[in-house]
Copies of this chain bind each other. A is one copy, B any other.
Amino acid sequence: MANEGRIDEAILEAILAGRLEPGTRLGEVRLGEIFGVSRTRVREALMKLETRGIVRVNSRRGWFVVEPSAEEARAAFQARRVVETGLILSMRGLDPAHAAHLRAHLVEEEQTIVGGDVGSRTCSLGDFHIHLAEAAGNPLLVDILRDLTARTTLVSMLYQSTEEAAASHADHTAIFAALEAGDFPEAARLMVGHIDDVEDGLDLSVRRIRPDDLRALLVTDGAPSRHRLS
């Protein structure tokens, strides 16, 4: 059974969906109970997430969802600008299949914005960039951007964000249009503007709340072993 990366993915998904906020403590035993496994596998999952910069361990004190500092936040956005700009400028065309995939994502994105909760919205908005990386056809860059968008998503949760989901969706649509038209320099320019807008929407001097409990945030329904990995 696709049991391999279940725990990593479940935790990451919970974080990205906003169910686990930055600073939340992630107890090994607690997570083990939730997933019905021993601490060993939980530790493995947490350590993988640690090398990806999603969680951090405070020796003998606990595991926590990372709380990026203002400087780290800026670095994350800059990294995304660098990678996504380079990515778009390296593209020579847009494969029809990938174009269709992106277009399908855009309609899903719109539906989520209208009807979904804030978590699904943020998640969907971030997925656009990952799908775009997939369209460029480089799995390594997909992974890199996956972790980078995870980081900026975390930042948006931690700091006061005035980002309008609708505005982001409009940006995405415009970027896609430029890509489909084959105007990659324009798409890159739009992308930089888009990321700038999201970053400017943050107030890096004001930090948000920091609650501290796990609750049943990781499992949405009753059974502890049922998870949707998006």
Number of copies: 2
A47 interface hit (Cβ, 8 Å): yes
A79: nearest residue on chain B (CB-CB)?
A: B140
A82–B86 contact, CB under 8 A? yes
**A133-157 Cβ-contact flags toward B at 8 Å (1 or 0):** 0000011110110001001000000
Known: A86-B85, A86-B86. A141 touches B79 (CB 8 A): yes
Interface residues of A in 153-187 (CB under 8 A from B): none
A200 CB, min distance to chain B CBs, angstroms:
17
B44–A79 contact, CB under 8 A? no
A55 interface hit (Cβ, 8 Å): no
**A95-133 Cβ-contact flags toward B at 8 Å (1 or 0):** 000000000000000000000000000000000000000
A19 interface hit (Cβ, 8 Å): no
**What residues of chain B lie closer than 8 Å to A85, measured between beta carbons?**
86, 89-90
A140–B52 contact, CB under 8 A? no
Q: How far is the CA of A89 from the CA of B84 in the complex (A)?
A: 13
Total contacting residues, chain A, CB less than 8 A: 28
A76 interface hit (Cβ, 8 Å): yes
A117 CB, min distance to chain B CBs, angstroms:
29
A75 interface hit (Cβ, 8 Å): yes
Known: A44-B47, A51-B52, A140-B148. A90 touches B75 (CB 8 A): no
Can you spell out 10 A-B residue pairs with CB atoms less than 8 angstroms apart?
Answer: A43-B44, A44-B47, A75-B139, A76-B140, A78-B90, A78-B138, A79-B144, A82-B86, A83-B86, A140-B148
Other 18 A-B pairs with CB < 8 A, given A51-B51, A78-B90, A85-B89: A44-B47, A47-B47, A47-B48, A48-B48, A48-B50, A48-B51, A75-B139, A76-B140, A78-B138, A81-B90, A82-B83, A82-B86, A82-B90, A82-B141, A85-B90, A86-B86, A140-B148, A144-B144
